[in-house]
Structures are given as C-alpha cells and as structure tokens.
Structure 1
C-alpha cells in the first residue's frame, strides 16, 4: 500500500487549532486525542462511575442486537454487542447521516477510524472496546443525503439522486422509498459505472440493501454492514423506536433542565468566541435543542414564555406536557446537534468520539452542557482523511510534474506554465512586441492631429484603440488554436484536478466509494481497515 502523509489545513480554524494543540483551543476540550495520559484519564473517569446518568446496559444491548440482526449485520458485530454487556466494555463512537449508497467517501473513512481506534485501544487496555457507528436517521434534511456524485468516463462530475417520497419535513428514517425509486437509482448508477470484473457483484449487493421499500437509513445500514460488518462495526439508527424508549430518562432531564442546558451552551459559546473563534452552530438562549414529531413533520422547538413551540407556532407544549411526552412517548422527541452528544454519552460508555472538522468545532460548544448533566465530554478524535489517486492519474502527475500541493494551491498557474513552456513561437512576446511598436509609431501621429481639429484627434484615439483590440483578438484566436495542439494534455490535467478537488472540494467530500469498488474491488478498502494507521489529524494520499 503506497501512501503519503500531507498536512492539509482544516478550513475550520477551531478544529485545526485543536488538532495542533494550540493554547487557544485547548481549554475548550477536557482531553486531547494526542496525549496518551488523557486516554488513561478518560478510562479512569468512566471506571469510577462519575457520570450521573447512564442507560440500562442490558436493555441497550438487546436493542442493538435486534437492530443489527434486522439490517443483516454479521456475527462479528453481534459478538461486539455481546461484549458491550460486560461492564468493563468501552466504546469508540462516531456517526453520519444516511447517504445514498453509502454517501461520500468520508463516511467510509469515519467508519475505518472507529474500527482502527477500537482495535488499538482494546489491545492496549486488554478489555473490550466496541466500535459503534451512529446513523443520524433522525435528521430531516433529505436533500443532504438523497444523492451521490461520481466522476464519469466523460470527465464530468455526475450527480444521481432519489426524490423525496412525501415532501413532508420528517426524519429520513421515516421515509420509505418505493421499489421503483430504488430501481431507477440503481439503473442510473449501473449506467454510469464502467464494465469491470467487480461490477455484477457490487450491483447485486447494492440491490440487496434496497429490498422491501427500504428507507435511505435502512439501506445505508445494510450497506455499512456489508462493508464493515466482518470487522465488528456495530450499527444503530438514532431514530430507532426501541432506542427512544431507553432514551426517555435523558429526554426527561433535557426537558426539566432545558433553561440550564441553553445557558450552558451560551456559556461555552462565550468561551469559544472569547478564544477568538466563530461559533460553528447557532446557539440562542430560547432554544430548546429538541425536535418534536407533530403533524407528520419534525419540528424544532424553542421556548416562548412558559411554553415550547415550533417556528410557525402551530404546536405548543407546556413543560409538563413535554415532560409527559418524554416519559410516555419518547419516540416523538428527537435530538438536535447540541443535545445529540449528550444522548450519545448517556447511552454508551464513550471512550472517544470520532468527528469531522465541523463537528469538532460545534462540539466545543457542548463542554459546559456535559458538565451541567453530570457528564464529561469524551476524547474528541479527528477522523482519518484520504485522497485516492489511481495509477494512471499518478503517472500523469509525474509526467507533467504536478505535486499534490500543486493541484490544491496552484493548479491553474502550473497548467499555464506548462503551456507557456511548449510555446516555441513565443506568441505572447511577438504580439506584445507588435502592439508596443504600433503604439510607439502611431500614438504620436494621433497626438499631432489635435492641431488640425480636436474631433480628428478623438477619431484617431478611437481608431488606435480598435486596432489594438483587433491585434488582441487575433492573439486570443492564435492562442486558442495553439492550445488545441495540446487537447490531450489538457484533458489529462483536468482529470487530475477532478480526481483531487472535484467541485473545488476535497475528493472525500464529493465522490461515492462505489466507483472505486467497481474498478478495484474491495482490496483497497480492506487495506485501509486492516493496516494500522496513526490517527493524527493529517491527510493521506493513497495511491491505488
């Protein structure tokens, strides 16, 4: 496995500074993933039972077993669930929305990070450390998860999507797709993929994940089980009704202490801003940080006087009514990005949570909230990052002397430099010389016309400008004609760019993994899971 490590600075400054252990970011988190003693400290804190609230472990194990059997997870994953019943067991947890056919590559990398860390710390601690992937099925932004991107053979970034089945603003896990919708999505993907020795098997497995009018969440879970079940990755949908029943106790507290929750988030926001960072998520004093299902929709609540209400004020609850809902019908409540980390901590013995850069930034807002509920934020670990570069692209990069950094930071300049180096006629110099010589001889003549008539002088100025424009027009046409000699090269350079920064974003945030599985099988993915890789916040370029 050929791999290079590269420091690709995070666009989110707080996450970058946290990873680099800057003095400004350090106080916003209780631990740092790079300090071995912090891992031991976290283990000790969990073992000593400091957390004020914990879910019933036995009930949780049964819910996990039932769910993972339903989505077709493996015996290895069920063994990990059984291990979680051991009171000594700890967990590495991370999650993501349920993207179409697995979503973007970063989802796979987050799962790999979870598996790698669980394996590493289980060995170091000589006790069970269970890898758990939390599927955010409760999220309602359907347009965020209903699509996937692939790089087509025509060197276009193609987008495939499924349409919203009802139009109602409700959780993805509550929106089953009709078989015809799944059939169309599979057909579009099939058409976009090149024929290969792996294609038939890949498409059959994907088709299997969509059976029975599956929701995006269920299909996603089945696909993750196919890819990572053999490594013991335990899956759970945050919107699973049986899980909600276990969460009732925590929902009660989130309602009872709602004002204090908001105040603690505001305090952390002040800390974040005081350290010189912008707030990643909107935190306001009247936010309930909870959703309710009502009228077929998932509605965000805020406090208004003595009531909890939605944005349009169509539904209104007293604190007592909302509390009763938490006790009797917890499946009607749902977390937002601020309360979800607290619920995760309530459910699992979290040694560490694996997060993306944006998530790291908004988790900084929750430090005081953890403490408000008698908890402590777990170790925050940045997920592994990769860019996949195929052999042909690597050869082209060598051929044209493009480094990875060149593509990221100076692609257009490097491309132009290469074209200029091929310009043996030195067209630009010749045209510039002609323009300069013409202006030198013609401009004085135009100036002298003023003595005859100012109108003639003005006409001369216009004439000079038009002649220069015509020379530049010919220069541009000549330049375009010259570039056509290098069409093949320009296409190869464009493929390099579209491989590494499609849509001006990191590859892992755009492309779906199925294209690479279709071309290369799963060996590259297995190598990433099975080869120990240091979780250090750096980016890795993986040459296929």
Structure 2
C-alpha cells in the first residue's frame, strides 16, 4: 500500500473547505483554532477546561461499549477519560447499512490517527471517540449501499418506509436484509477474504438487531482494538446529564439565533451557508406525529402537531421528560461536548461548513468551539486501474468530468489529425465564398437572398455532421483506450462524484481483506495533518 498527496484545488470540494485547508487565516473569523498550527493547538490544549463529570461520563460510556463487545484497549481508554488531563478527539456518522460509504471508515481512521498524534506530542491521554448518530431520522440515507460491478456503480437498498418513524437507531433491520445480503454476495465475487467479511457482517447486521446495535458492532469490531470508544445521545442517562443544555437552547433561543444568523450571513457572503436556521434547535418526539420541529408561536412555542407551550412550560417539560426532545445539527455538537472532553472534532467538508456557522453560538452555552480537524480524504486505486491509468493523457482530477467530454478530449489529445482545425478552416472558406456568391445572387434577384443564405446553412450543417462521423471513426479505431477511460472513471469518480462519497467500504474489504483499514492507518505518516487528498495505491 502506497499513499501519495493530491491537491484539493482541482477536486469537487467547496470553496470554503479548500480555503480552510490551504489558507486558514482567510476563514479564521469562523473558527477558533487553526488545526495546522502547533502553537495554536498547544494553547487550546493548555487552556482546555471540561465542565462535565468525568466519572459519570466514563460510567455511561462503559455501559454503552459493553453492548458492542468493545476491545480491552477501548475499555482502558474509557477508564483513562476519568483523568483530569484526558481529552477526546471525536467524529461521528449516520448508521449506514453494512457500514455505509467509504468516508465513514476514513473519518474513523483520521480520528484514531489524530488522537495518537496529539497524545504523543502533548504527553497526555487523548481518546478517539466515534459518535453514533443515534438521533438521526433520515432512514433513506442509511438504507442504501453502492459498490462497483462490471465497472459501473450498483446500488442496493432496503425497502423504503413511511413517515413518522422513530430514530433510525431504534429501527430494527427489516427481514429484507437477508435479500440484500444475498444480492450483495452475488455481486461481490468470492475472494480469499469474503468469508471473513461475511462473518463480520452477519454477526453485526442481524435481523433482530437495531441499526444502532448493528452499526455499533460493526465499527467496534473493526476499530475498538485501536482504542476507539463509541458514544451517542439517544439514551436516558445521557439526556439526564445534558438536559441543562436542552433547556438552555430554549431559554437563550433568541440569542442563539442571533449568533447563528450573524455568522451564517457572513459566511454566505463569501462562501455558502450549509444549514438553514430555524426558531429553535430542538425537535419534539411525539408518539402520533413522530419527530417534529419546535417553532415560535408568538411568545411561546409549538410543534407541527399543534402542541403548544409557553417558554416556562417548555423548559419544565424538558426538565421532566428530556427523552422527548432531540437536538438538531447545531445543538448536537453542544450535547456531545457537554458529555465528552472534546478538544477536537474530525469533520468532513460539509460538517466543517456548518461548524463555521456555530462559532459565536458556543458562547451562549459558556463553551469553546473544539478544533475542527479535516478528515482523511482519499481515493483507493486498485492495481488493475493503476496499470492502465498511466497510458492515458489525463490528470487524476480530469476523470471527474463527464464521460462524453473525456472521450472528446482524448480524441483531441491523441489524434494525429487536427480535426477541429480542418473543419474550422473548411467552414471559414465556405462562409467567405458564400458571402460573395450571396451578393451575386441578390444582384440578379433580391428575393433569392434568403434562399442563398439557407443553402449556406445547409452546407455548414452537413459539414458538422461529417465532423461527427470523423470523430466517431477515430473513436472506433481506438475503442480499447476509450473503454479504459470509462473503466477508470467508474472506479475513481463513480457517478461523476468522488469515490469516497459513493462506494461502500466493504467493497474494498472483500477484495483486500477486513484488515485493509489497519494497514491504511499504519501507512499514514506520523505527522499527517490531512491537508491533501490521498491517492492510496492498493
């Protein structure tokens, strides 16, 4: 396995993210700490102050991780969190079936790597934590999985469900998981590693398991041996610990909204606003209407299901029944950081953007924004692709273009004949001759000038048709290379997007082993800071 750097500049990442990794000073007003400045990180760590109860946090995490048969290394890390100088580096993700897209494992690897790096550099316990998105309700996001079959993306899905669902974490895997498994096994051809993979998947994603348990078992079995600790907030003991922050989100709602709006407007002027703002950052969980937003109702509050409260009544309801309330994308990090001594969060490009909206909001909770570390971004290049990619005249990033454009560009770059030049010259000569002849015809009979113009247009149209035939002829002559272009594109930029956002991690585990992520983790340079996209040659 070999890893090389590739600039983000030509890849499909947002302007904000590219600026964040290449010119942090330009976006420093939206973030508290430069993740690439050792002095800034050192100051952040020195000044870090965790307001929570470490013993209580450790107790909660111990009970949770026992459910997932966590490795003894992870259990020891939970115990180490009780130390007054212990810190946590956190990431999180939705509970995707069979582990979800590649970026899920890339975020996890990043978190383990950064925790190790900080612990060694600053000589204090730094624990990697994966926050299970156990309050997420987007079932449609977690029920799908994409692999590559015959050089084409192929998606497998569990059946859709109707509205008013509980959290995805509480949903049991449907009976159709068996059908999905059989279809996947048929498409993922047998290798020396298939038995190990399916042993892992079948033990994790069983029909009697919830998405929460299945995904947690999967991640724990892969990464708890590296000390990764699992956490989440959809538990009564966590809601009991963090209920004060849920109440504060209502009591300080106007102030929070003002701070969010201020940063969001500033961010949108130069970059983009990732997340829409609402009156509150809470959802209400109702047995009849499901999860509904809590919105302003004059001086009070209401849900879409027409439940109404005054502010005092809503605060009392949160205190009495915190389990009935769920944080949105802005409040979730606050709950996370109230439970954990979070010195840093490992974020994808989208998460980095919404954290940029949140800087001032943290002050409303008397908290500081953690360091936002970019995650490992990578494209895995298989040997069969590596063998042919050097034979073609394209840079890696160009395979993100449309296949039609790649084919035309290939013909232009490799054909010995200047087809465009031939036809441009031909058309110019036709137009020059036609202009004079049209005048001659008009001099004979002015009513025929339009007909002469039409004759010229017909001729030029025929030229364009002929040019198309010439291009098709060239394509046919070099079909082998054009097929290779399609193959490379399908593997590196499936569906015109980055591989890491589309293809499931298990696709590579089936071909290269369940321990592929251990190897990638060990391949990373000790000082790696993820300022570049990685090309990982398998």
After TM superposition, the score normalised by the length of structure 2 is 0.90
Aligned to 2:33: 31
Query: C-alpha displacement at 1:110, in angstroms?
Result: 0.7
- Tell me, what secondary structure is at the counterpart of 2:159? coil
Aligned to 1:306: 299
Q: Residue 242 of structure 2 is aligned with which of 240, 247, 258? A: 247
Aligned to 1:543: 537
Instruction: Give the alignment of 1:70-149 within 5 angstroms.
Output: 70-149=67-146
Query: C-alpha displacement at 1:348, in angstroms?
Result: 0.6
Distance in 1 separating the partners of 2:215 and 2:385: 30
Query: C-alpha displacement at 1:210, in angstroms?
Result: 1.6
Distance in 2 separating the partners of 1:476 and 1:346: 64
Query: C-alpha displacement at 1:281, in angstroms?
Result: 2.0
- Tell me, what secondary structure is at the counterpart of 1:25? helix
CA RMSD of aligned residues (A): 2.8
Aligned to 1:4: 4
Aligned to 2:491: 499
Distance in 2 separating the partners of 1:245 and 1:78: 23
Contact 1:121 1:129 (8 Å CA) reproduced? yes
- Tell me, what secondary structure is at the counterpart of 2:274? coil
Aligned to 1:339: 331
- Tell me, what secondary structure is at the counterpart of 1:399? coil
Q: Given the alignment of the two structures, is residue 163 of structure 1 paired with residue 159 of structure 2, yes or no?
A: yes
Q: Residue 181 of structure 2 is aligned with which of 182, 186, 200? A: 186
Of 180-189 and 264-273, more deviation after overlay is shown by 264-273
Against the structure 1 CA distance between its residues 245 and 478, is the aligned structure 2 distance closer, same or farther, given a 3 Å change threshold? same
Contact 1:387 1:507 (8 Å CA) reproduced? yes
Q: Residue 20 of structure 2 is aligned with which of 1, 18, 21? A: 18
Of 242-251 and 361-370, more deviation after overlay is shown by 242-251
Aligned to 1:370: 362
Distance in 1 separating the partners of 2:323 and 2:502: 33
Of 244-253 and 92-101, more deviation after overlay is shown by 244-253
Aligned to 1:232: 227
Contact 2:177 2:207 (8 Å CA) reproduced? no
Contact 2:119 2:126 (8 Å CA) reproduced? yes
Distance in 2 separating the partners of 1:40 and 1:437: 70
Q: Deviations over 1:248-291 (max 9, x none)?
A: 232233333333332332343355457x444322235xx11111
- Tell me, what secondary structure is at the counterpart of 1:5? strand
Instruction: Give the alignment of 1:181-220 within 5 angstroms.
Output: 181-220=176-215
Against the structure 1 CA distance between its residues 360 and 247, is the aligned structure 2 distance closer, same or farther, given a 3 Å change threshold? same
- Tell me, what secondary structure is at the counterpart of 2:390? helix
Contact 2:265 2:273 (8 Å CA) reproduced? no
Query: C-alpha displacement at 1:224, in angstroms?
Result: 1.0
Contact 1:138 1:172 (8 Å CA) reproduced? yes
Contact 2:238 2:339 (8 Å CA) reproduced? no
Against the structure 1 CA distance between its residues 426 and 200, is the aligned structure 2 distance closer, same or farther, given a 3 Å change threshold? same
Distance in 2 separating the partners of 1:444 and 1:255: 79
Query: C-alpha displacement at 1:314, in angstroms?
Result: 2.1
Distance in 2 separating the partners of 1:169 and 1:211: 20
Contact 2:193 2:514 (8 Å CA) reproduced? no
Contact 1:137 1:237 (8 Å CA) reproduced? yes
Distance in 2 separating the partners of 1:177 and 1:506: 28
Q: Any gaps of 5 or more consecutive residues in structure 2? A: none
Instruction: Give the alignment of 1:354-503 within 5 angstroms.
Output: 354-408=346-400, 415-420=407-412, 423=415, 447-451=439-443, 453-454=445-446, 456-503=448-495
Aligned to 1:508: 500
Query: C-alpha displacement at 1:490, in angstroms?
Result: 1.0
Distance in 2 separating the partners of 1:261 and 1:519: 48
Aligned to 2:519: 527
Query: C-alpha displacement at 1:85, in angstroms?
Result: 2.5
Distance in 2 separating the partners of 1:79 and 1:104: 29
